[in-house]
Amino acid sequence: MKKRQGWLFFIIFLLTLSVYLLINYPLQLGLDLQGGSQLTLQIIKEEGKVTKDELDAVNSVIDRRVNNLGVSESNLQTLGGDQLILELPGEQNPLVASRVLGKTALLEFRTQKAGTSTNLKTLQLQRLNIKEIIDQYSSSEKSQYDDNFLNIIQDDLKEIEQELNYSTTSNDLYGKLIEIKKYVDKEITNLFIKTDLTGKDLINAGRRQEQTNSNWEVLLTFSNSGGDKFADITKSIAGTNQLLAIILDGESISEASVGNQFANTGITGGSATISGNFSAENARELEVQLKGGSLPLPIEIVETNTIGALLGSKNILKSLYAAIIGLIFVGIFMIFNYRILGFVSVLSLVLYGFFNLALYSLIPVTLTLPGISGLILSIGMAVDANILIFERIREELYDGNTLTRSIDSGFQRANSSIVDGHITTLLSCFVLFLLGTNFVKGFAATLGIGVLISLFTSLNCSKTILRFFTTYQSLRQKNLYLPKNNFSN
């Protein structure tokens, strides 16, 4: 008896601790419950596996970019060996994030090959033409969008194709326009030779509005060695008709000549400006990308989940109500069938609920919709354990044993079945947690934690509470444990 009393105090202590934890460390709700966006980024590597170092490097670049974007309360995690998950809570549009994150942002400075001036001029002209057509095409209103308009665009496109001696293979008009744009960009880039000055030589990037018009420009600040390299490069082409190109992810965003006055020293001072007709938004995006550095490996956004805040709160309320209604019915069912024993199981289930939630806030487990369903199912397991025990106690009572003895052997004889059942479920949870996706992991985590706690509450808490009850003489009558009419058996 003494030992049981010790357990009782221990359980009360655990309950107090749980309440304390829940008050001080509130539960973390997943995005599907509070609303927000989740992007899954896949690191692309052609050959071999992504190494730990590469994963960390990508992670830190993405982290810097996200921070520079000023997204509040974002959360970046790695998943498996080659994926990252970015969570943006609330009403933040994932579009900007996806544009900034998806780019490799490899910045290069290249010098023009000698004797390619005519070639470059043709390409630059066509690039301008194509841009105009695309702008026209995407800004046109539905009313203008008739056959006549499409014919004009198609004719323009054909002219450009002839000029460039290239024929597009895409099926639709928009695809063709994008294809030829890419072709021209590539051809222009090919006219320039790589130098050893890249985005790695930057220490900062900024942006400002140009004085002459409303366009924006991006300012680059080089490190000491970068500044030296920049001076050398500009010196080598100063006064010639070779241009300096600033190339981002293989696309030239600016081509400029270097004046004769720099022939002796090159452009010194360790800074440069890219003025490529940026809008305020574009300039900011480039700034963020350059500040964060280029990605060591390209990434692709393979999954985007956006859940409106409205829907999120609806989800949580609905599932919460459903769970509570279900549990109340389970409680009624148990008390109806098992009387005092049922009441004991309701108490131990309440403890079970508190311990579970307290562990969620302690570990912490982020509560998602699949997580809640895992919790509800684990409650099923906990109830099952109680039923197994109570059925045994009933049988012992029917056989004419005393209450104390029946309770003892009931717990003892149900033990092996309960442990077996819990272990098989734990095995599934373990595998799910190891192999599953993020979504599945949430389910496995709550179900697994629940099953572990259920071992404690059903085998120990139920027993302790029951023992406590049976110390009162008035609670020891057999008919409080069995429906009367069954005594004749």
Partner 1 sequence: MKYNLELIKNKKKIISFSTVLILLSLLGILYSTFNTSYNKPINLGMDFVGGNELRIERFCEAECSNLSPDSVLENLREISKNKNVLNNIKLQFQNNNKLISIRTPYLSIEESNNLITNLDNIIGPLNYESKDSRLIGPKLGKRLLTNCVTSLLVSLFAISLYITIRFDKKYALFALLALFHDLLIVFGIFSWLGIILSVEVNSLFAVSLLTIAGYSVNDTVVIFDRIRENLKSKKEGYNETIQLSVNESFRRTTFTSITTLIPLLSIILFGSYSLFWFSLALSLGIIVGSYSSILLAPSLLLKD
| Residues within window 132-191 making contact with partner 1, judged by CB under 8 A | 137-138, 142, 145, 171-172, 174-175
| 82 vs 255 by CB, closer to partner 1 | 82
| 56 vs 303 by CB, closer to partner 1 | 303
Q: How far apart are the first and last CA of the chain?
A: 32
Rounded distance, CA 124 to CA 96, Å? 29
| 75 vs 417 by CB, closer to partner 1 | 417
User: In whole angstroms, how close is the CB of 417 to partner 1 at the nearest point?
Assistant: 5
Angle at 462 between CA 408 and CA 407, to 5 degrees: 20
| 25 vs 145 by CB, closer to partner 1 | 145
Query: What is residue 397's three-state secondary structure?
Result: helix
Q: Which amino acid, residue 118?
A: T
User: In whole angstroms, how close is the CB of 302 to partner 1 at the nearest point?
Assistant: 4
Closest-CA residue to 84 (of 121, 116, 43, 142): 43
Candidates 106-114, 123-131, 322-330, 452-460; binding stretch for partner 1 (CB under 8 A):
322-330
Site residues (CB under 8 A) for partner 1, limited to 210-229? none
Q: How many residues bind partner 1 (CB under 8 A)?
A: 79
The count of C-alpha atoms lying within 13 angstroms of the C-alpha of 300, restricted to the half-sphere facing its C-beta, is 4
Binding mask 271-300 for partner 1 (x = CB under 8 A): -----------------------------x
Q: Binder to partner 1 among 326, 402, 404, 479 (CB under 8 A)?
A: 326
Is residue 255 within a helix (H) or strand (E), and if so which, with residue range? strand 251-257
| 5 vs 424 by CB, closer to partner 1 | 424
Closest-CA residue to 364 (of 75, 94, 80): 75
User: In whole angstroms, how close is the CB of 448 to partner 1 at the nearest point?
Assistant: 11
Rounded distance, CA 253 to CA 218, Å? 11
Candidates 155-163, 353-361, 370-378, 469-477; binding stretch for partner 1 (CB under 8 A):
370-378
Helix-then-strand count for the chain, H and E: 15, 13
Site residues (CB under 8 A) for partner 1, limited to 408-427? 416-417, 420-421, 423-425, 427
Closest-CA residue to 19 (of 381, 458, 445, 350): 350
| 163 vs 303 by CB, closer to partner 1 | 303
| 238 vs 482 by CB, closer to partner 1 | 482
Rg from Cα positions in the chain = 35
β partners of residue 88: 37
Q: What are phi and psi of 27, to 5 degrees?
A: -65, 145
| 284 vs 441 by CB, closer to partner 1 | 441
Rounded distance, CA 123 to CA 134, Å? 16
Q: Binder to partner 1 among 117, 257, 273, 373 (CB under 8 A)?
A: 373
Task: Give me the residue label for tokens 């509560």.
Answer: 367
Query: Does 401 help bind partner 1 (rule: CB under 8 A)?
Result: no
User: In whole angstroms, how close is the CB of 59 to partner 1 at the nearest point?
Assistant: 19
Q: Tally Cβ neighbours within 10 Å of residue 340.
A: 18
Task: Give me the residue label for tokens 């769970």.
Answer: 323
Query: Does 397 help bind partner 1 (rule: CB under 8 A)?
Result: no
| 41 vs 246 by CB, closer to partner 1 | 41
Q: What are phi and psi of 313, to 5 degrees?
A: -70, -30
Binding mask 70-109 for partner 1 (x = CB under 8 A): ---------------------x-xxx--xx----------
User: In whole angstroms, how close is the CB of 167 to partner 1 at the nearest point?
Assistant: 20
Binding mask 452-471 for partner 1 (x = CB under 8 A): --------------------
Rounded distance, CA 208 to CA 219, Å? 8
Candidates 156-164, 217-225, 257-265, 303-311; binding stretch for partner 1 (CB under 8 A):
303-311
Q: Binder to partner 1 among 311, 402, 478, 479 (CB under 8 A)?
A: 311
CA distances from 55 to 40, 77, 88, 431 (A): 14, 11, 21, 24
Site residues (CB under 8 A) for partner 1, limited to 49-68? none
| 220 vs 418 by CB, closer to partner 1 | 418
Candidates 190-198, 264-272, 439-447, 472-480; binding stretch for partner 1 (CB under 8 A):
439-447
Dihedral through CA 479, CA 485, CA 487, CA 489, nearest 10? -160
Closest-CA residue to 199 (of 91, 107, 284, 327): 107
β partners of residue 248: 107, 251
Q: Binder to partner 1 among 203, 309, 362, 363 (CB under 8 A)?
A: 309
Q: Binder to partner 1 among 129, 395, 452, 480 (CB under 8 A)?
A: 395
97 burial type by CB count under 10 A (0-12 exposed, 13-18 middle, 19+ buried): buried
488 burial type by CB count under 10 A (0-12 exposed, 13-18 middle, 19+ buried): exposed
Rounded distance, CA 368 to CA 34, Å? 9
Q: Binder to partner 1 among 74, 92, 315, 356 (CB under 8 A)?
A: 315
Closest-CA residue to 137 (of 153, 151, 121, 123): 153
Query: Does 335 help bind partner 1 (rule: CB under 8 A)?
Result: no
| 98 vs 271 by CB, closer to partner 1 | 98
Query: Does 343 help bind partner 1 (rule: CB under 8 A)?
Result: no
